[in-house]
Structure 1
């Protein structure tokens, strides 16, 4: 897991180079199509990537985006005929999950434009897609997806940048290797002891970091056996706040845009309750945290969010080992999940 996570920056740079013409053409095709909305299709870590894609599409592409549940097509065969000429972005590391294949095929039969973002460009999902965007993560032997997840986020960022022609997002693509390499070499493992004996915890994000929080919480469950739940820092006050008490760990992944509004006040509330608050972000947004984690703050908010998960993976690996787990082979899990 650790070795593969550290490969991500180089893999992402190579992906951007290899996909340059392909994604530019895909962006032009999508602008010409001018769909009323877009949809995503994914499970697991790929679904967290899809949530990141939804943020990018809605904020920078100004395109409403829904999450198309795989079972809608694979079990219920209830895909709407209104999918005609709507991009359905199907995301899968393996491209082999039966439910994703069935749902994508069902949507395609209803007229959807299937865009497959996959690590295996020869997979069944790629074969049925109209547009295939390989992420070029290379073989990933650890069950826990790391480099394939980061590469998928970059592929989504690339696609939305070309589709929207957003100048700042396009410019940020040129910083990917530099920012992610620095993030991969940024040490977050100093807070390992705070999580080694934890029974449960919360991971907070908002805007560009909400999906990153979701992926971090999933990895803590998957590799560390730690019951971690992700929430929007804005939504957390609507009920879950009552669960935070003395000694409870909270990891806050602060965004680099307007979504950080009010976060530090929320962290103050946690600290007043005696919670162990760990946070990454700009100093003014996380000054109330007990421990602050170094992270990129001088880059595009989308890239800054990706940098946070890049740094987080080493922490997840360290916590897993400290808790007596094998991060490469979590119990009861397989690399390809064949949900029906």
Structure 2
């Protein structure tokens, strides 16, 4: 039923490999910022830099994640700051507004986009045109997100004085991780219930990945999915959970793995599904291990969304997957995105 989404997920191994050399060449032209670095956008473009925090930390690179809304009205920009803004189309209104705000404050705007002639590209000081063509913009976004992660990682390596093509050591594992993600998702959805809510938990950068995972269910059909910090969940939000619900704890660091495992173990007898979303084994450390963990857990959440949609007959290319009020929601969304 959802062959376009399945095709897009499967294509990521080849597309990320094909994008690496062009991205390395493009980021090679950019000098390292001499001041504060912030990165963000709307939706997935806001989750991506936050999810990369462990990777950036391993490089000794401080990058602050922010939303386009936050940058437009709630962030102090100082002349000389660098702000990376991501938008696949390059025409996301709030992201373009954020670019204007940054420029007015004397900041430097670096755009990551497929839209070479887009509104974002027009206002940016520098543009990295992502070297791929999106397969679909009607399914829950998968390929677009991973290429954005790859571009951010390439920038991080370049600005820390390393060769971005080293990312191949991680990207080459994607075919194997896709198989593992498919198996994980198949086991998880076997006990999930369509009437249940979905909780996605994570701590630190894993919360951004959990938020990305929840967003896939929103995009797939307006499925009630909630992202929360693992620890904060058990301080009140836990009372929302009911037996038909499912809980997933994204865990890529020692603390998040320990606490996530405790939460999952305690909720497993009570909920339809409770599972830890851990990275696949990887022989490497430092930034390589951080990026590998990010990619392999993200692939599991992508496959989880696809497996859920297939199991419960949701056509993800339709507004709200064909469920009631899709047209109404689409109309409201279109109106708000245009203002």
Task: Give how far 1:151 is off.
Answer: 0.7
Task: Give how far 1:312 is off.
Answer: 2.8
Q: Residues of 2 paired with 1:148 and 1:317: CA distance?
A: 16
Note if contact 1:196-1:319 (Cα within 8 Å) is conserved in structure 2.
no
1:1-340 to structure 2, matched below 5 A, reads: 1-26=5-30, 29-30=31-32, 33-35=33-35, 37-54=36-53, 56-57=55-56, 60-63=59-62, 65-70=64-69, 73=72, 80=76, 82-143=77-138, 144-165=140-161, 173-186=167-180, 187=182, 188-274=185-271, 276-281=273-278, 295-298=280-283, 300-330=289-319, 331=326, 332-333=329-330, 338-340=337-339
Task: Give how far 1:175 is off.
Answer: 2.1
Task: Give how far 1:56 is off.
Answer: 4.0
| Structure 2: tracts of 5 or more residues without a match | 320-325
TM norm structure 2:
0.82
- Change in Cα spacing, 1:19 to 1:147, as seen in structure 2 (3 Å) is same
Q: Which secondary structure state, in structure 1, belongs to the residue aligned with residue 29 of structure 2? A: helix
Task: Give how far 1:221 is off.
Answer: 1.7
Q: Residues of 2 paired with 1:59 and 1:122: CA distance?
A: 34
| Structure 1: tracts of 5 or more residues without a match | 283-294
TM norm structure 1:
0.81
Q: Which moved more, 1:328-337 or 1:271-280?
A: 328-337
Task: Give how far 1:248 is off.
Answer: 2.6
Q: Residues of 2 paired with 1:121 and 1:54: CA distance?
A: 27
Task: Give how far 1:55 is off.
Answer: 5.1
Task: Give how far 1:278 is off.
Answer: 2.0
Q: Residues of 1 paired with 2:190 and 2:243: CA distance?
A: 16
Q: Which moved more, 1:1-10 or 1:194-203?
A: 194-203
Count of residue pairs the alignment pairs up: 317
State the superposition RMSD in angstroms: 2.9
Task: Give how far 1:229 is off.
Answer: 0.8
- Change in Cα spacing, 1:240 to 1:177, as seen in structure 2 (3 Å) is same
- Change in Cα spacing, 1:3 to 1:159, as seen in structure 2 (3 Å) is same
Note if contact 1:115-1:132 (Cα within 8 Å) is conserved in structure 2.
yes
Q: Deviations over 1:210-261 (max 9, x none)?
A: 2221111011122043211112223323322333343431112221555424
Q: Residues of 2 paired with 1:190 and 1:274: CA distance?
A: 15
- Change in Cα spacing, 1:264 to 1:136, as seen in structure 2 (3 Å) is same
